[in-house]
Structure formats: C-alpha cells, structure tokens
Structure 1
Amino acid sequence: MEECLREYCAPDGIHISKLTASTRDCDNPLETPPNWPTYDRIINLFEEVTAQAQRGDIVYIHYSGHGARVKSIFQDLKTDIFDEALVPPDIGNGGRYLRDVELACLIQRMTDKGLVVTVVFDCCHSGGLSRGRFDRNRIRGIGKVDHTILERDVSSFSEDELRPVARSPGFRGVTVQNNWLLGSRCHVFLAACQSQQVALEYDDVDASTGLLTHFLIQSIRKASRPLTYRQLYNVMTPQIAAYAQQVTLDGRQDVVLSGEANTLFCSTDRLEIPHACVVRELLNPTRVEIQSGTVHGVVRDMEFDVWPPACTEFVDATRVARLRVIRPHAYTSEASVTELFHPDQLAPGCLTVPVTLLSLQSKVRLVPPSPPSQDGSAETALEKIRHICESTPNKWISIVEPPEEAFFQVQVQHQTYHILKGNGDALDNAIPPSLSLSINNPNAAQNLFTILKHLAKYHTVLNLKSSRNNVTASWLSIALEDTPYTSPPPPRMADNLAFACQENTVQESDGSTCVMLRVKNESRLTLNIAVLDLDSAWAIEQIYPETNLVALSLEPGVTLELPLNVEGVGRDTLKVFATDEPTSLDWLRMSALGSNEEPSGRRGGNQQTHAGSVLGELQSAFVEDGPHSRKLRTIEHFRRGWVVKQCYLDVNDGEGDERDGSEWEMPPYYGSDAGGSYLSVSSRI
C-alpha cells in the first residue's frame, strides 16, 4: 500500500509513517519492538500527524490486523457494555487494547482540525473469524469476548475528551451503532467486510495481503484517471465477491463504504457520478451477472446499457454493451449480451443502467371546467399541460381520458391549476405556494408538469410493496412508540427485546419528545436494513443508514432502535426494507417539492435487486431525473428475498405535556466485534 500511495501522490507531497508487526510464516514479528503498533505508539502517531498537518491536508489511515470485542471500561460514558478494540502485538505481554471510543476521539480531532480523513480497515469485524482459507493458525481476531478488565486497562484519555464521541446526541438522520466509524460525513470509511463475515487474504507468489488491499491497489493502478471512492467500490466489490465465492464456505465478503463516497481517492475534489448498478461477473463471453434484481424491480427481458466503471456521463460513444435480462434473482440477474460495442472493456465493475421499463406512469386526467370558461382561458391552460406531457419524454405521467381511471386530476379554478386525487379529493399534503400555478404565469404549465412528475415519483415509492410471500413477510417486526424523553438517546441494537408489531399503524406526536422506531429481525437470517422517510414536504430521505451506500446488517433476534427527532407538522411514512443480501436504496431519495437542494444524504451508490417488478424501473427513472428535507429458520428453496413494511407518524402542533427527561433505561447493547497487523498513517501536506 505504501508503494501504491507513493506512485499515486506527488513524491514531494507525501509523508508516510508506519507501525508494523509482520508475522507471516513465523511466530514472532519480523520488526523490532520499537516499530510495533502498540497502544501508546498508535496514539502518539495519530497525535503527531494531527499536530503537523494543516487544515485541508489529506490523511489516509490503513489498518490491517487483529480485533476483539472486550468488556467496556467506559460504561459511565456509553450505552454499550462492550468495546470494540484493536489488538496490539504486545497484548499478551503487558499491552493494552486500543478501544473504539479512543480511536473515534483521535479521528474526531483530525476532522475537527479540518483534515480530510480516509480510514481503511482490511480486517475481520467479527473478531472470531479467520482472514485466510479457514486456517486457524491465521486467526485475525479473538474468538471470544474478553470479559476481563486488568489493572493496566486504563485509558490515556480523560472522560471529558471521550464523552463527546462516546455518547453523541441522537438525531433524525440516524447513525450506525454496530460500527463506531460508520456514521460520519466528515471522513470516508472503507471496511473489508460486514460484521458477521470474514476478511480474506489474497495469496500472491511473493507475499500475502488482505483481499481488500490487493484489489484496492489493483484498481488504483489500472485506472486511467483518478477515481472516487464510490468508483473504486464499484470496481473492487465484484472482484472481491468472485474471489470470496471460491474460497469461503458461504461465498460472501461484502465491502462496506460510508461517508463522502463522491470524493476522489486521496483528494479534496468531489465528482458527482450518475447512479447505476454494476456488472458483478462475466459468466461467459455472451452472458454476465449484474448486481441488480427483483428487489429493485428487475424482470425478465429488461434491457440495460453498460458503461465503463469510471464513466461520468452516459454518452453513446463510451457505451460498452447492451444486455437483456434472462434470469432475474433477488439482488442479481443473469443477462445476455445482445450488442457489444467495446469488447475489451466489458468487465466486472462496469456500470449498468436500465433502458426499458414497465408501466411506472401515473395517469392524469385533465378535467375541463363546467360550465366552460367564458374566455376559454381554462381550456387553453389545460391544453398547454397536455402538450407538454405528450411532447416531453418522461417515465412518470401520462394523460388519459374517461372512462379510464386516473391517479391525479388537474383542474383550473379561479385562474389557477389545482391538483387533486383521481377521485377528486384533495391531496394529503399541500403544494408549496412558492410554486406559482396561476395560469397567468407563463411558466405555470411547466411548473405543473414538474410537480406532477415529483408527485408521481413520490407516490410510486409510497405504494411500493413486496410480494405476499409468507416466508419473507414474517422476517420483520416494526413499531413506532412515543417516548418521554426530550433529548434522544443514541441509536442502538438490543437483544431479546419484545414488542408488539405495529405495521400500518399511526403514531401521533406533538413534536415535544422523540419517537422511537423499533425494527426486529424475526428470521433466522442476517438481514440488511434500510429505512426511508416519506415526509409531508413530498421528500424521501433514507434515514438509516444515513451515510452508507448499502443497507446494514441486523442479526437474528436483534432489535434496532432508532430515536427520531420530530420537526414540523404533517404525516411521515416510514418504510422499512429488509433484504437477505446487501443492497442500496440510496437512489430513491428526493428533495422536498420546490427545493433545488441536493438530497442531504444522496451520495449515490450501487444498486442491486430480486423480488417483484418495480424497483429496477424505479432505479432507471430516478437515475434519469437525478436531483430531502424534513428530518425525522432458513428454508432451502427460498434463499433470497426482501420485504418492506411501513408505519406512519402524524405530527401535530399541540403544546404537549411537560415531560420528565429522566435517563432512559437501556436494554443490554448488542453490537459486533471490531477487527482490525499493520497501521499506516499517511499525510499529504
């Protein structure tokens, strides 16, 4: 990795410090003890870099080695009863664990100073798994929780230093609780695998290195131009998945990417790239597997265009191939190559975008005034919107005539366009008055067209349902509950927490206290959870995970608790998605109606799919329209699936009663083991 960084960065603009303890094919580290990454030396190195670097400098931190889950020494500061810890090589000879809160504090100091930080962990997160071909002599973590607290287990940090990162306040855009580096927008975090998986070694002729590190280096070197972390992720993940499939029992190693994914590698520059899924594997010269399936709506015979991994604009000159889906699965699909424009460029990591759709359009009926308007202005205004809808290609709205049923009506009343439900009732949420719909406004018809498209997209996601499969339907329980606490506790995971499932129920709140969303994995599978908030400003926000490209795992029997701050007035619909493989719903985000702001969490990502019919089409249509707002037992024959459940939060403007803000009684924390044999900190000054 050091060699790659020196090749990538200007020689006179990089400074690399290393702490290493290499143990390949021997029991003791090859390096002398002064070079080992011990507790004190790691902390000292972080502090040195933080002191020397200037605001805007780039800091790259690469860790590979052992990790453990240990009894917490910070129980007065944090809700967890365990710490995730890095295991220095001298841990059995007087050394100390470097614990999660301490490392988070060190990284926070860097970001507070304005440093641009990237953290890469090429290690197991589960603590008890091998980073090798299940060779127990190459364990990369401690297999059991260390419940002992020794006399030397004392932090070098004061409580005042650790308190801000140990128990940061909750907020509507929730953070990830099962990894203490996954919730920040202030840095990029790249992990080799999810918490329940192994991080594999890549065995080369000369040396053995982590699988993530190997393909990260390879992707950087092969790229014809600098890539963003998202683009690197797109290129690496299919290759890592293919390698893992060959050497592991379950064939899975899912890389985790969080934070500012649209930042160029080791740079402060950003590059907004189009949303797309990726080619996962070349099955043969005429057939590929794409990382998109029925959970995103892919169906047989859908067509996809293929583009290079580093593509930033989808133009015909750079198109690689065209595909037709022949066998859709839950999160992947097999597709045949029907046209090949650049044979040498078709490879895992290429971007794919759907080009054919089913019927996503919301039907709109234009209702003429009765009796007709005296000057014909209302009828003329309706014809203007008809012309725009019929002459402008779009995937969202179409004009229909009676007796065909419509989803929306458009009428002209008092010289103003009005949008109603198909049955003539008023919409559930108001249209912002800033969007002028007076027919005397020359832009009114175009404004109306834009609004109708936005509402159609919103309602398509709102009405999204999974298939009525008794197996997947039982995977998940959800509930919303008002709490007596004005200051939300941190998000967390709890084991053996019982509550009644309240799917499709309405929870009322006056906004004076936080509301708790509980999501429990009732299956025997590890599920991946994502939560969308559809609010009364016609915005769609992914509130969990907020800064990740893919949904995050929830183990069997575990409950995820997400405290939500409540703002404004109106109804929010919370849709909870559960899949049995990692996937991304990031592309479904929408800004509030009338807002020109980029959705607050939209950093793009890789899409995948397998379930019914709509999600793949949604992906394509959202990709085209591009740019939220109010914050708020395994069955053999059924191995892949997804389910979505929803509940509602009604916020009124009542004063509410005075509440006691007493401490919340926390159930036992359920987390995951951290993983981390070398630590490298690079500062580009």
Structure 2
Amino acid sequence: MSAEYGRWALLIGIDCYIPGTKRSILYRNLNGCVSDVKEVEKYLHGIGVQNIRVLTSSKSPGSDRPVEENTPELPIYDNIERELNGITNKASAGDLVYIHYSGHGIRRQALKAGRQFTGDEINGTALALADVMEGGAYLTGYRLGKFAKRMVEKGLRLTLVLDSCFSGQGHRKPTTASAINFSFRTGDGGLDESILESDKRVNVEAVITDQGIRGPNHRNAVVEPSWLSNPTGCTILAACGFDEAAGEEIQPGTSSTHGVFTFYMLKLLNQTLSGLRPTHAMVRSYVKSKIRPSKKQSPVLYGDGDYVFFGKELVVERPISRILRKNISGGLIEVDLDIGYAQGVCDGAIYNVYRGNEPTHREAIPLFTITIFKALTISPFRSVAALSNGDVNAADISTASAVLSSWAVPHSFVQTSHTARRISKAQVAVLKKELDAHHSREFSLVSHDDATKMSPTFAIDLDENEIFQVYILNKTSKEWNRAQRITSISANNGNWVKNLIYVLRHLSRFQAIKNIHNDDTATQLPHSCLEVTVLNRGMKVPKSCDGSYCVAHKALVTYNFRLSQDYSRPGSKGLYVSFYMFSATWGISKLHPAPGQPALLLVPGKAEYFRLEMSVPPPRNIEDQADVEDTIRVCVCDASRSWEDITLSDLPAEAFRGPLKTESVVLEATCAKSGSTGAITSRKVILYDCDQRGEEELEEKWGFVDVILHTASALIIQQENDIDIKDTVG
C-alpha cells in the first residue's frame, strides 16, 4: 500500500453459470473470465496493490456447478454487495478503487417497434451473476451506479472495467474461419426482461439509497437511469457499445482464453510498468486499435479519461493524427496527415512525428518535425506537411503519428494608430523590426493612411493611460470594435513588444478558429440539424432579435441538444457532437464530453445536456463593457472526429514584468488530488482515436452550430409560461 493513499480492488470473473429454469434465458459457460481476473490480480500485485478481493465462479471438471459454490467467494449479488460496501466503509478519502468484471452482460430493456436506442451503453443493462438462472438477482447498471456514486461521494477515485456484452440486438455467431474460437459474452438472445423476487428486493434497496427521490408508486419495470452514464470522479471502461458484442478467445502467444478487452488492456499496462501508466483514454484507444475490424467491438469510455489508469495523476495529452502516406517531389519529402482545416490546422503549424504509439509515453523523442503547407486545398480533414528537420525513412513513415507542437495563424495586416492618439514613430519602428524578424509570415504593419489598400484585420493604439488597445474589424459591418478584456499591456513595460505580439497572435488564432465554416453544400450540415433548448430555472430562455440568448450573471443555465426532425427519420444513424466554449476572455475550452472522448453519438430520441453557471469576468480596462458575449459551438459530423486542437487558454489579465510565453503544447503530467475541483491551467486534451480510413478520404458531412450567449451583470429575465420549449437553431 502506498504511504500516501490506499488502493483497493474487487475482481469478479464468472466462467461457470449455475444451471436453472427460473429465467427463460440461457447463459452458456465461458472460458476466459477467471483467467482474466487472475492476470489482473497479478498485475495489481506487481504495482504494489495489497487490498485485493477476488470473487470467481470456476468450472469444475465433470460437474455443472462452480468450484466456489456455497462460499463467500462466489460472485452472487449478496457477496458482491458485501465487498463493495466493505471497500466503501474501510477506504479513506483520496484512496483509489479498481473494480473489474469479466462475465456475461445482458440488456434488461427491449428495443420494441417504434422505440429508438437512446445511445446509452449503461442504462437498462445488467451484469449476469453466477446464480441468475437459478433465481439470483442481476447487478443492474442502475444499482452498480449507486455503489459507485457512494464511493465517489466519500472522496474515492474509482476505475471500473466491464468486460462483458451490453448488446440488446441478440447473440451474434462467429461467421469467419478466424473466429471459430471466438465466443461472445452475452446470454442467448441478448435480452432478459424477467423480474424475479430477487430483482425486486435489489431494486427496493436501490430506491432506499436514492434518498426517496421517486414516489412510492414507481414501477419496477421502468428502466432506471444509471449514474454511470454521466459519472464524475470516476472512469468506466466498457468492452463494447450497445449494438456490439464483447468477445473472448485464445490470444496470440498464449494457450489460454482471455477477454479481448482485458488481454490488450493488460498488454499495454505491462509495457508501461517502469514509467508513467497510460491514461484511461490511451487504454481505450490502444485496445480499439488492436481489435480486428471483423469483430466489430468498440470499447466505450465514460468519465475522466485523462487520469492515469488506476491513478491520481492527470495527464495532459495531445491529440494524435496519423501519417497516411509519403510523397517525394523534387527532393522535397511531403507527408499526408488525416487532420485538416476544419479541426484548426493552418499553414505554418509544426507537428512532431513519432514512431507508432510513442506519443503515449512522456519520454518519447520525436523522429523529426514537419510543417503544414497545404491545409485549405486538400479537404476539411486532410493536410500536407513538409519535412522540417530530422532524418526520415520509409519504415518510420509507415507507422508514424504526428502531434501538434506549435499552432500557426493566417497572415493579417495590423493598422497602427486607429484613433486620433497615435503610437510614436519610435514605437512603430521597434514593433515592425520584431515582426519582420520573427513573425513576417503572420503579421505586417500598415499605417493609418495605407489601411484602405491593405484591408487590415487588427488595429492597435494607446489610450490615455499608455495602455495598448487592440481593435478588430467586423468584416460584415466594416466597423472597428475594441477587443474587450484582453491582457493589459503598458507601453512602460520593457517587454511590451513581445507581449503585444503575443496578444495579437492569440486573438488571431481565436478569430481564425471562430471563422471556420463549411461552404460546401454537398458536405454541409446546417444549423438546423440540431434543436436547442436553453433553460434558466426550468423556464425556456427566449431568443433575442439578434438570435442570441440573454442570461444573468451567476445564472445556472441548462443547455439541451437533440437532433432535429429532418435528422431523426427512421434509419438515421445519428451525428457525432462535441461542445466547446468560446469565452469572453478569448479562450476556447471543451465543455462536453469529458476528456478521453473525442465526440458523442447523438441519435434520434436522445438528448445531450449540460449546465453552466454563467458569469461576467472582471473588467480589465476602464472601457470594458459590463455585459459579455460567449459562444457555445457544437462541432457536428457524421463520423467521429477530434476537434481538440482548437482549444486555447484564456488571455491573462496582466502581462506583469516578464514577457508572456507562447502556450506549451508538449506532453506533460500534472498531479491532481482525487475529488479536486481546482482549475487545471494547462490544456486538457485527449489522445486522438484514428479510425484508419486509409488514403481514400470519405466525403464526411460536417458543420458547426453556434449558440450565442449575452451575460449581463445585472439582468432580470422575464419568463413566459406559454413559450414553446422547442427551438431550432437557425
């Protein structure tokens, strides 16, 4: 046990299912679940975990009964409940808990005619324990969520791994010769809606722990929402999605059967015993990359993906893109990347290139660097880069991956002396010298007299307090607007030149990202693809005449998103969505889903929502307005894409004495205490999960839906009881 905190584990593996006729479903015995948990136990001992409890149901030669029958180690509901409660009661705030289940999984809710899948892998599911056919209770996702929530509320950090099927589509048989020894971990039929007395008893216990939220007339047949579907303070890794099956087979290089997910999870963990363990997001990405496409098994991650696996360290990672191919033209080595301008790539951006999955290790040294020179001319999700430095060969390129090292901004003209008060000629000369020497590709200075010829994007000036002001040209109205709440930079600061350029680059990056749009009608997803509802205190917030929503400072606002009717027709597979906030202090941060998940699949009938407490940041200049504008951008695509490279830290309030430093985008690790709510100042982004499209780019449909919010420092919003709560962005 660590001297600083305790580590606890409960491992559950079920190979032998006790026969019985209490339920109409048949659970066939499995072969790799007990071996799964034994290997996990071996790994945990290897990293020093001492508090390990193991519950197994092992097959006995010549018998259909488990070896552990009638013992406290048999994985039935009462024994599992005892162990979970024991860990919760004994562990202290800050301790780590690991729970692993290998066995059959089942759906407890049928997809009947007219009922759409909600997109939730947890709700309506259950773990089939050793005695369920004999009348024992299921461990439902709802009940397991109650156990997990209680642990988190005590201050424990939980990692939960479920290597089982959650399929409600029925048991799929192997169809290829390579899958002869491949078995699925679900009951025949994949669905059991039976309610026995044992299930009712467990449900009543769950209701009691729910602190009486629901009334006494609540019916057991209704599927309960599980806390695990949107957890806080823990991470869940499930072996597969709703319409897939988790499998087990004899694994390469071994003579024993293991769950596919558990096998590759342990393979990665054992490779990193000597260094920093991978994050949960890395584990999911690695396992997915190892599963053969024919198996159609895609691991699912819920919760905090950026924490080290079964650890407290918070790892700041970069999204990874793949090098698709190498071209040699006139002696120049070029490479194609599977990331493009729709995701914030700009000509001049620099990427580090690594072998294979080396970026998952902090100590990895890049093979070479590449510089983007074709981002807009290829496709929204492709770009071309040239070798910047280092040595490269065909073997390196064939398995290489790229990580953003330094973003770039498009070229802009900067006008000096926007107002009557002019910056001195000496100051202009110093600024021009620095721009020409180090930022000529990004900025060019133009005088007030030459501005009409050059169409400047920015203008700079000094106010009466010798503080630099930056103005941004509105391309539509052709009016100059002073940039609100930027960093306060005094002309008397010895580092004013570098600090001013820092602010200009930051504003230019922010504007470039905000101005990305899809004009291609063949691939465009319009604003109307989503319906948006904005609620304050349960009442709909109406749109203003300019299309924005007005809310008050400190208002707790709920944002609800669902597919519009045009995208909810029968047969629709849904759209992938990611939510970002463009803040009033010039930052871009991810709101939803949690780190470790590039996007959520929004399907017909499902709504995604989150709550934000709106606030007006303090003014940084005497002329800053009392109200602020924020934008929630929904990145929408018909394929799972990562948008993480668009994130940008907020501008600092003051430059102080030293020069502001360009934002670091290298791999780094930050320790964060379990349950901490403190802000992480470094960028929190995820490992990009490449879907291996190959050289032929798919014509993906994509677009952005922007929800503009005006937050007032003092505002009373009148609520109308008769307002229709359905609202379509347009």
TM over 0.5: yes
- Tell me, yes or no, if structure 1 residue 430 matches structure 2 residue 479: no
Matching residue's letter, 2:492: N
* Match of residue 64 from structure 1: 102
Matching residue within 225, 240, 247 for 2:288: 240
SS in 1 for 2:270: helix
For residues 125 and 533 of structure 1, do their structure 2 counterparts lie closer, same or farther at Cα, with a shift above 3 Å needed? farther
For residues 368 and 437 of structure 1, do their structure 2 counterparts lie closer, same or farther at Cα, with a shift above 3 Å needed? same
Query: How big is each residue's C-alpha offset from its partner over 1:112-135, in whole Å with a ceiling of 9 and x where there is no partner?
Result: 333332112223344435587368
* Match of residue 22 from structure 2: none
CA drift at 1:642: 2.5
Q: Counterparts in 2 of 1:259-274, with a 5 A limit?
A: 259-273=303-317
Q: Counterparts in 2 of 1:117-516, with a 5 A limit?
A: 117-128=158-169, 130=171, 133=174, 138-140=184-186, 146-152=192-198, 153-154=200-201, 155=203, 157=205, 159=207, 161-163=209-211, 180-181=227-228, 183-204=230-251, 206-223=255-272, 225-230=274-279, 233-234=281-282, 237=285, 240-241=288-289, 243-245=291-293, 247-248=294-295, 252-273=296-317, 275-279=318-322, 292=339, 295-296=342-343, 305-308=352-355, 309-311=357-359, 318-319=366-367, 351-353=401-403, 360-368=409-417, 378-392=424-438, 397=443, 399=445, 402=450, 403-414=453-464, 415-422=466-473, 425-427=479-481, 430-432=484-486, 435-470=487-522, 472-473=524-525, 477-483=529-535, 485=537, 505-510=547-552, 512=555, 514-516=557-559
Matching residue within 573, 583, 587 for 2:641: 583
- Tell me, yes or no, if structure 1 residue 42 matches structure 2 residue 94: no
- Higher Rg: 2
SS in 2 for 1:647: strand
Gaps of 5+ in 1: 73-79, 168-176, 489-499, 611-635, 667-685
Matching residue's letter, 2:468: Y
* Match of residue 555 from structure 1: 603
Deviates more, 1:320-329 or 1:252-261: 320-329
CA drift at 1:289: 9.2
Matching residue's letter, 1:514: V
For residues 19 and 484 of structure 1, do their structure 2 counterparts lie closer, same or farther at Cα, with a shift above 3 Å needed? same
Counterpart-to-counterpart distance in 1, 2:347 and 2:245: 34
Deviates more, 1:320-329 or 1:448-457: 320-329
For residues 398 and 95 of structure 1, do their structure 2 counterparts lie closer, same or farther at Cα, with a shift above 3 Å needed? farther
Q: CA RMSD in A?
A: 5.1
CA drift at 1:551: 0.6
Counterpart-to-counterpart distance in 2, 1:126 and 1:428: 55
Q: Counterparts in 2 of 1:664-675, with a 5 A limit?
A: none
Counterpart-to-counterpart distance in 1, 2:257 and 2:336: 29
Does structure 2 retain, via aligned residues, the 8 Å contact 1:83–1:99?
A: yes
Counterpart-to-counterpart distance in 2, 1:31 and 1:552: 42
For residues 4 and 139 of structure 1, do their structure 2 counterparts lie closer, same or farther at Cα, with a shift above 3 Å needed? closer
CA drift at 1:605: 0.9
Query: How big is each residue's C-alpha offset from its partner over 1:228-250, in whole Å with a ceiling of 9 and x where there is no partner?
Result: 433x74476356335331x23xx
Counterpart-to-counterpart distance in 2, 1:26 and 1:379: 95
CA drift at 1:223: 3.3
SS in 1 for 2:265: helix
CA drift at 1:47: 1.4
Does structure 2 retain, via aligned residues, the 8 Å contact 1:530–1:576?
A: yes
Does structure 1 retain, via aligned residues, the 8 Å contact 2:431–2:497?
A: yes
Counterpart-to-counterpart distance in 2, 1:97 and 1:294: 48
Counterpart-to-counterpart distance in 1, 2:611 and 2:628: 18
Aligned length: 599
Query: How big is each residue's C-alpha offset from its partner over 1:360-388, in whole Å with a ceiling of 9 and x where there is no partner?
Result: 32514132478786xxx633333333334
SS in 2 for 1:181: helix
Counterpart-to-counterpart distance in 2, 1:329 and 1:453: 25
SS in 1 for 2:507: helix
For residues 482 and 27 of structure 1, do their structure 2 counterparts lie closer, same or farther at Cα, with a shift above 3 Å needed? farther
Does structure 2 retain, via aligned residues, the 8 Å contact 1:66–1:142?
A: no
For residues 420 and 95 of structure 1, do their structure 2 counterparts lie closer, same or farther at Cα, with a shift above 3 Å needed? same
For residues 378 and 182 of structure 1, do their structure 2 counterparts lie closer, same or farther at Cα, with a shift above 3 Å needed? farther
CA drift at 1:336: 11
CA drift at 1:520: 0.8
Gaps of 5+ in 2: 1-35, 111-119, 216-223, 327-332, 617-626, 655-677
Deviates more, 1:398-407 or 1:55-64: 398-407
SS in 2 for 1:117: strand
Query: How big is each residue's C-alpha offset from its partner over 1:68-104, in whole Å with a ceiling of 9 and x where there is no partner?
Result: 34369xxxxxxx9964332223223222222333222
Higher relative contact order (CA 8 A, sep 6+): 1
* Match of residue 594 from structure 1: 652
Does structure 1 retain, via aligned residues, the 8 Å contact 2:236–2:302?
A: yes
For residues 212 and 661 of structure 1, do their structure 2 counterparts lie closer, same or farther at Cα, with a shift above 3 Å needed? farther
CA drift at 1:530: 0.6
CA drift at 1:11: 7.2
Counterpart-to-counterpart distance in 2, 1:304 and 1:296: 14
CA drift at 1:186: 1.6
For residues 229 and 371 of structure 1, do their structure 2 counterparts lie closer, same or farther at Cα, with a shift above 3 Å needed? closer
Deviates more, 1:25-34 or 1:50-59: 25-34
* Match of residue 656 from structure 1: 716
CA drift at 1:517: 3.3
Counterpart-to-counterpart distance in 1, 2:336 and 2:53: 41
Matching residue's letter, 2:508: A
Matching residue's letter, 1:416: I
For residues 138 and 95 of structure 1, do their structure 2 counterparts lie closer, same or farther at Cα, with a shift above 3 Å needed? same
* Match of residue 29 from structure 2: none
CA drift at 1:300: 12
CA drift at 1:293: 5.5
Does structure 2 retain, via aligned residues, the 8 Å contact 1:331–1:581?
A: no
CA drift at 1:417: 1.6
Matching residue within 615, 624, 630 for 1:572: 630
TM score, norm. by length of structure 2 = 0.67
For residues 178 and 194 of structure 1, do their structure 2 counterparts lie closer, same or farther at Cα, with a shift above 3 Å needed? farther
For residues 345 and 178 of structure 1, do their structure 2 counterparts lie closer, same or farther at Cα, with a shift above 3 Å needed? farther
Does structure 2 retain, via aligned residues, the 8 Å contact 1:531–1:543?
A: yes
- Tell me, yes or no, if structure 1 residue 6 matches structure 2 residue 56: no
SS in 1 for 2:267: helix
* Match of residue 32 from structure 2: none
For residues 280 and 364 of structure 1, do their structure 2 counterparts lie closer, same or farther at Cα, with a shift above 3 Å needed? closer
Counterpart-to-counterpart distance in 2, 1:282 and 1:27: 56
Matching residue's letter, 2:686: G
For residues 194 and 12 of structure 1, do their structure 2 counterparts lie closer, same or farther at Cα, with a shift above 3 Å needed? closer
Does structure 2 retain, via aligned residues, the 8 Å contact 1:480–1:502?
A: no
SS in 1 for 2:135: coil
CA drift at 1:44: 1.2
For residues 322 and 428 of structure 1, do their structure 2 counterparts lie closer, same or farther at Cα, with a shift above 3 Å needed? closer
CA drift at 1:525: 2.5
TM score, norm. by length of structure 1 = 0.71
Does structure 2 retain, via aligned residues, the 8 Å contact 1:369–1:378?
A: no
Matching residue's letter, 2:484: A
